[in-house]
Amino acid sequence: MSSLHPVLSLLRQEVLKLPIGEGFSVTGLNLASALLSLLATRFILNLGDKRRRAAYLRMCCSEARLRRSEKDHHAVFKHFSSSQHLTVDTFAYYPVSYFLGLPAKKGKDVVAALAQRIAAVSWRVEGKETCNAVTEELYNEAFEAPTPTKGVLRGVPITVKDCIGVAGCVQTGGLACRANKVYDDDCALVATLREAGAVVLARGNVGQCMMLPESKNNVWGETKNPWNLGRSPGGSSGGEAALVSSGCVPLGIGSDVGGSIRIPAAFCGVYGFKPTPGRVSKKGCMAPRFKDRNGMGLVIPATPGPISRDVDGCKLFCEAVWSKGHFDKDTTIVPKLWDGEEYEKGGKLKLAYFKTDGWFEPCSASARALDETVSALKKAGHTVEEISFPGNGWDTYALYVAVAASEGNMRNFSEGLEGETLIDEYKALYAAANLPNFLRPIVTRVIDKRRAALVGGGRSGGLTAYELQQLMADVVAMRSKWSELYDKLGVDAILHPALPLPAMKLGISGD
């Protein structure tokens, strides 16, 4: 509005000059003409502001990519090229345990070979289509640092999701407006992992705003599934899953609120674990919202967690993080230490499983995966009982949509983008969020039931405080229902399909 002040002052002066007195008044025509001039001027100025903002955001993206392409990795690539025994396959697909406590020379070889593999698999191959999983590379930093010999993760090479703070890197969350701020310090989680001996090699790509089961944004582009480059690796931790799945690292660090670790792990055929929220620190990690303000994170909280080539990688992550050193860095997380004795004691498990929540029937591949898992567990001597989904999947989905969209019109997304355009995959969601409320009952009657639940779950203009409080009460009631079910069944875990769909074709999540 500051750019309009001269125009407003001029308009005021011209109106005051008009002869208002006997036989004359400011006519409606004069006033209408003045207002139209003001509106036209404001439109032109706003359009200019938007264009300048768009140009600035494109520049931020270009500069971020330029910083990445110009970064010096000479030492590590020279070590690789001068070695007669190293190839990009030398340490690919090794289990996490292999990398623990390697001698210093072997540790340098690991960094060099995996750095070359990440560069080749991810994006640094001219004229070759790759999975494009990496946002930033830290090869030289890892190569020049002493090989860790102490700690739970001593010497294990890892990658870290773009939104999790790493010193010397940006945290974009897929937002162009965040591409020009480089952070000086590690977040609490990465600091803890380094203290445990982890070696950070690179950063994995995410989806714009981190709320889609794909990993595409205007800063780093679109990540593809290494098993099939025409399909998605999932999201929003798709970069980590692609890097682990393609043998670039044995362990990636992602985050999850509504499936952002679990979906990529399922799509890429690796292991993912979402810890209970409040067990792993998010201190120093960005939120893809304006000024990192995400109040709904209290209702449906996100949490960092591991994506690994094997279960042992997830276990070592938890052992490293559930430690006094980590708890000392963030007093808001639950200080319950890793219990190795409990983990190792073994014994037969009592398990339950359900095949569908009634909202989205699993495809044949997802159903088969569950059936094979149940069969293997029974064969191993564990007790496995089939149960019905505790509730109604339609109600669960409606509640998730209503809470996530409670501000109305995707306002938190729009403000967080700071002038950037939403990618195409959000268009249907944005249209549903901005549909006038009087049209919602009509539209829900003429579209399919699943899309109708999406349209009916939101409200243009947002919910009242009372309505949001009622939704929060519904969330608490749902958690209680699940807790009561566990107590009633006396089970150690409940199994179900990871997702009702296989890895999706690129770009169709918006459908």
Q: Summarize pLDDT for 295-341 with one digit per residue, the tens.
A: 989 899 999 999 999 999 999 999 999 999 999 999 999 999 999 99
Residue among 63, 193, 203, 64 at smallest CA distance from 138: 203
Residue 350 predicted with pLDDT over 60:
yes
Positions annotated as catalytic residues are: 161, 236, 260
Residue 277 has pLDDT above 70, yes or no: yes
User: Which tens digit of pLDDT belongs to each residue from 244-254?
Assistant: 999 999 999 99
Q: Give the burial class of 344: count Cβ atoms within 10 A of its Cβ; 0-12 exposed, 13-18 middle, 19 or more buried.
A: exposed
Strand 221-222 versus strand 251-256 pairing type: unpaired
Per-residue pLDDT at 26 exceeds 70: no
Q: Please answer whether residues 239 and 159 qualify as being in contact, where contact means their C-beta atoms are separated by less than 8 angstroms.
A: yes
**CB neighbour list of residue 416: distance below 8 Å, 6 or more residues apart:** 173, 175, 209, 288, 289, 290
Task: Say if residue 14's pLDDT is above 80.
Answer: no
Whole-number mean pLDDT of the chain? 92
pLDDT at 428 over 60: yes
Alpha-carbon gap, residue 215 to 128, rounded angstroms:
20
What is the distance between the alpha carbons of residues 496 and 355, in angstroms, rounded to a whole number? Answer: 6
Residue 45: what pLDDT? 73
Give me the pLDDT at residue 19, please.
52
Chain segment 251-269, per-residue pLDDT in tens: 999 999 999 999 999 999 9
Percent of the chain having pLDDT more than 70? 94
Note the pLDDT tens digit of each residue in 102-129: 999 999 999 999 999 999 888 777 778 8
Task: Read off the pLDDT of residues 179-236 as tens digits, 9 standing for 90 and up.
Answer: 999 999 999 999 999 999 999 999 999 999 999 999 999 999 999 999 999 999 999 9
pLDDT tens, 463-481? 999 999 999 999 999 999 9
pLDDT at residue 48, rounded to an integer = 79
- Report, as an integer, the average pLDDT of 398-405: 93
17 has a pLDDT exceeding 90: no
Backbone torsion region of residue 233, taken as left when φ is above 0, otherwise alpha when ψ lies between -120 and 50, otherwise beta: alpha
Going by pLDDT thresholds of 50, 70 and 90, the confidence category of residue 46 is: confident
At 22, the pLDDT band (50, 70, 90 cuts) reads: very low
Cα→Cα distances 239→286, 416, 472, 507, Å: 17, 22, 32, 16
Q: From the centroid of its chain, how far is CA 269?
A: 18
Q: For residue 5, what are the contacts with CB-CB under 8 A and spacing of at least 6?
A: none
